[in-house]
C-alpha cells in the first residue's frame, strides 16, 4: 500500500495543537487583563512593541501564529468531514489558504515593526 | 437473594428465513447480580433455544461476547443488568455484517490483523544456544499496555471512521502493530510501515478517542495510533527532506 503524504499537513497540526493547548489559555487571560486595564507593566504596549522589534522575537511570533492557525484549520477540516461535508479537497484548500493568509498578514505586520 | 424483572429487546436475524433483522422481546426474572450474558444464557436454556450469540469465558478475557447494549459497544459479560433501567436493547456489534442474531462476520478484522504482521520479528536472530532475548522493566513498560488487547472488536464498533471508511485498518490491529514496533526485541518496524503509514493506516484516524473509551482492557488504542502518527511523521520528514539519510 502506498504510504500517505498526510504527515506534511499533520506535522504542523500536531505541533500547533500542543502549542495552543499551553499558550491559548495564557493569551486569553492576558488579553482579558489588558482589556480590563490590569496588564502588568512588563506586558505594557510599549514594552511588547519593543520586544517584537527584535528579529528573533519576530521569528518566534510568526512561528506561533502559523502553527496555531494551521492547527485550527486542520481541526476545522476534520470537523467538516465528520459533520458530513465530504468535499474534502475544497474544504482543505479553503481552510489551509485561510491559515496561510493569516500567517502572511502576520508576517506583513511584523515586518513593519 | 433479591430478584429483578428484566426486559430485553434482542435483534434477531436468521439468514435462511428472514429478509431483514427484527427485534424480539424477552421478559425474564433474574438475580440482582446477573450480567447481560447471564440473561442471554438463561433465555437460550429455558426460553428460546434458537437464540445465537458468541461467548466463552464469562470473565472479560476471551473477547467473544462483544455486542451493542443500549447502543454502546460492551462485553455482555461485563454489563451488569442492575446498571440499566427499562428495556435493555441488545444488538450485534455495529459496523460488522450480521451472520445470525448477535453473531457477526469478522473476516474483515481477521484479514486486517494479519496485514499488520502482529508477531515478533527479531532484530538480530539468535541461536537457541545464545540464550534468551533480555529486556529491562523500562523496555517492557513501553509496550505492555498494548499487549492487553483481547481482540473483542468493541473499538471497531465504536470507531466512527471505521463506520465511514471500511478500508481503515482500525484501532485494535494498528495498536498491535504499535505493540510490536515498541518492543526492544523486535526489528519488524520497516516491514509494518507500508500498512501503518498508509492512508488506510493511522492516517484515517481523526482521534475521536471513542476506541479508548469503550476498550474493556484499557489498552488505549487512540494513544497507540497517535504515537504511530508522530513516528510516521518523523519518518516522512526524514525520507523527503533528508534524502542523504537513505540507506
Residue B228 is part of a domain; what is its CATH number? 1.10.1060.10
Reference B139, options B180, B179, B182; nearest CA is: B182
Nearest CA-CA partner of B174 in B211, B201, B155: B201
Q: Which of B104, B126, B160 is the last residue of a domain?
A: B104
Give pLDDT tens digits for A21-52.
Answer: 998 889 888 888 888 888 778 878 888 889 88
Q: 3-state DSSP call for residue B124?
A: coil
Same domain, B99 and B114: no
Q: Which domains does chain A have, with CATH numbers?
A: 10-112 (1.20.1300.10)
The verdict on B114 and B213 lying in the same domain is yes
Residue with cell 448477535: B102
Cα diameter, chain A: 58
Residue B89 has pLDDT above 90, yes or no: yes
Task: Say yes or no: B129 and B156 in one domain.
Answer: yes
Mean pLDDT of A68-88: 91
Q: Residues B63, B126: one domain?
A: no
Instruction: Please determine, for residue A4, whether its predicted confidence score (pLDDT) is greater than 70.
Output: yes
Same domain, B127 and B116: yes
Q: List all residues of chain B from 99 to 138 with a beta carbon under 8 Å from chain A.
A: none
Q: Compute the average pLDDT of residues B58-79.
A: 97
Burial (0-12, 13-18, 19+ Cβ within 10 Å), B76: buried
**Last-in-domain residue among B59, B77, B104:** B104
Q: At what angle do helices B221-241 and B171-181 cross, to 10 degrees?
A: 60
B151 vs B160: CA distance, rounded Å = 18
Lowest mean pLDDT among A9-23, A75-89, B28-42, B61-75: A75-89
Average pLDDT over residues B30-41: 96
List, as ranges, residues 165-194 from B with C-beta within 8 Å of A. Answer: 193-194
Q: Is residue B34 located within the same domain as residue B67?
A: yes
> In the 8-state DSSP scheme, what is residue B119?
S
B120 and B97 belong to one structural domain: no
The CATH number assigned to the domain holding B15 equals 3.10.20.30
User: Which long-range contacts (C-beta less than 8 Å, at least 24 apart) are formed by B14-18?
Assistant: B14/B50, B14/B100, B14/B101, B15/B99, B15/B100
Sign of CA dihedral B177, B181, B185, B191: positive
Closest by Cα among A3, A11, A6 to B198: A3
Claim to verify: residue B202 and residue B239 sit in the same structural domain? yes
Domain enclosing residue B66, as ranges: 3-104
Please say whether the beta carbons of B35 and B48 come within 8 A.
Answer: no
Tell me the pLDDT of chain A averaged across its residues: 90
Smallest Cβ distance to A11: which of B193, B197, B237? B237
The mean pLDDT of B18-25, rounded to a whole number, is 97
Predicted pLDDT of residue B19: 95
Q: Per-residue pLDDT averaged across B70-77, rounded?
A: 98
User: Looking at the complex, does the CB of residue B229 fall below 8 Å from at least one CB of chain A?
Assistant: yes
The predicted structure's pLDDT at residue B185: 94
What is the reported pLDDT for B101? 97
**Segment B221-240 mean pLDDT:** 94
Contact between A78 and B193 using a beta-carbon 8 Å cutoff: no
Same domain, yes or no: B73 and B159:
no
In chain B, what's the furthest Cα-to-Cα distance? 73
pLDDT attached to residue B123? 86
Residues 6+ apart with CB under 8 A from B12: B18, B21, B22, B23, B24, B51, B101
> Is residue B242 pLDDT above 90, yes or no?
no
Q: Within an 8 Å CB–CB cutoff, is residue B209 touching chain A?
A: no
Better-predicted residue by pLDDT, A73 or B243: A73
Distances (CA, A) of B59 to B22, B76, B90, B220: 29, 10, 19, 20
Cell of B145: 499496555
Instruction: Give me the pLDDT at residue B85, please.
Output: 92
Arithmetic mean of pLDDT, B34-51:
97
Tell whether B158 and B240 lie within a shared domain: yes
Sequence-ordered list of residues with C-beta below 8 angstroms from that of B62, at least 6 positions apart, any chain: B55, B56, B150
Residues B102-116: tens digit of each pLDDT: 999 999 999 999 999
Give the one of A3, A14, A82 whose C-beta lies nearest to B197's C-beta. Answer: A3
Query: Rounded to an integer, what distance in angstroms lies between the CA atom of residue A38 and that of residue A40?
Result: 6
What count of CB pairs under 8 Å joins A to B? Answer: 44
A4 vs B195: CB contact, 8 Å cut-off?
no
The pLDDT, as a whole number, for residue B1 is 66
Q: What is the pLDDT of residues B158-201, one digit of tens each?
A: 999 999 899 999 999 999 999 999 999 999 999 999 999 999 99
Report the length, in residues, of chain A.
Answer: 113
Q: How far is CA B152 from CA B57, B148, B156, B233, in A?
A: 12, 11, 9, 29
Are B225 and B206 contacting, i.e. CB atoms less than 8 angstroms apart?
Answer: no
Residue A1 has a pLDDT of 64
Domains in chain B: how many in total? 2
Residue B88 has pLDDT above 60, yes or no: yes
Residue B46 C-alpha cell reads as 429455558
**d(C-alpha B175, C-alpha B219), whole Å:** 8
**Same domain, residue pair B79 and B135:** no
Confidence tier at B245 by pLDDT (50, 70, 90):
confident
Angle (CA) A27-A28-A34 rounded to 5° is 85
Quickly state the pLDDT bin for A82 (edges 50, 70, 90): confident
Task: Supply the pLDDT for residue B247.
Answer: 55
Amino acid at each position: 500500500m502506498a504510504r500517505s503524504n498526510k504527515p506534511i499537513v499533520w506535522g504542523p497540526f500536531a505541533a500547533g495543537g500542543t502549542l495552543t493547548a499551553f499558550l491559548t489559555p495564557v493569551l486569553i487571560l492576558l488579553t482579558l487583563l489588558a482589556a480590563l486595564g490590569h496588564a502588568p507593566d512588563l506586558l505594557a504596549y510599549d514594552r511588547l512593541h519593543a520586544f517584537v522589534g527584535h528579529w528573533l522575537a519576530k521569528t518566534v511570533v510568526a512561528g506561533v501564529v502559523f502553527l496555531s492557525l494551521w492547527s485550527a484549520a486542520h481541526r476545522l477540516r476534520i470537523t467538516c468531514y465528520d459533520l458530513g461535508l465530504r468535499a474534502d479537497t475544497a474544504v482543505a484548500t479553503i481552510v489551509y489558504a485561510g491559515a496561510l493568509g493569516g500567517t502572511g498578514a502576520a508576517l506583513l505586520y511584523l515586518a513593519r515593526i | 437473594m433479591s430478584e429483578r424483572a428484566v426486559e430485553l429487546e434482542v435483534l434477531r436475524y436468521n439468514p435462511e428465513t428472514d429478509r431483514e433483522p427484527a427485534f424480539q422481546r424477552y421478559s425474564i426474572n433474574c438475580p440482582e447480580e446477573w450480567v447481560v450474558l447471564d440473561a442471554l444464557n438463561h433465555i437460550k436454556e429455558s426460553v428460546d433455544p434458537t437464540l445465537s450469540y458468541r461467548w466463552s469465558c464469562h470473565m472479560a478475557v476471551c473477547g467473544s461476547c462483544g455486542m451493542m447494549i443500549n447502543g454502546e459497544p460492551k462485553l455482555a459479560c461485563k454489563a451488569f443488568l442492575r446498571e440499566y433501567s427499562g428495556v435493555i436493547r441488545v444488538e450485534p456489534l455495529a459496523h460488522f455484517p450480521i451472520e445470525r442474531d448477535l453473531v457477526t462476520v469478522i473476516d474483515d478484522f481477521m484479514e486486517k490483523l494479519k496485514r499488520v504482521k502482529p508477531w515478533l520479528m527479531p532484530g538480530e536472530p539468535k541461536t537457541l544456544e545464545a540464550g534468551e532475548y533480555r529486556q529491562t522493566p523500562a523496555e517492557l513498560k513501553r509496550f505492555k499496555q498494548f499487549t492487553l488487547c483481547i481482540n473483542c472488536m468493541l473499538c471497531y464498533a465504536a470507531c466512527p471512521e471505521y463506520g465511514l471508511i471500511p478500508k481503515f485498518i482500525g484501532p485494535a490491529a494498528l495498536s498491535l502493530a504499535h505493540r510490536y514496533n515498541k518492543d526492544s526485541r523486535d526489528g519488524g518496524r520497516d516491514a509494518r510501515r507500508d500498512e501503518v503509514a498508509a492512508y488506510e493506516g493511522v492516517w484515517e484516524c481523526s482521534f475521536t478517542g471513542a476506541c479508548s473509551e469503550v476498550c474493556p482492557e484499557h489498552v488505549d488504542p487512540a494513544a497507540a495510533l497517535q504515537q504511530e502518527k508522530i513516528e510516521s511523521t518523523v519518518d516522512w520528514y526524514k525520507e523527503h527532506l533528508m534524502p542523504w539519510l537513505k540507506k
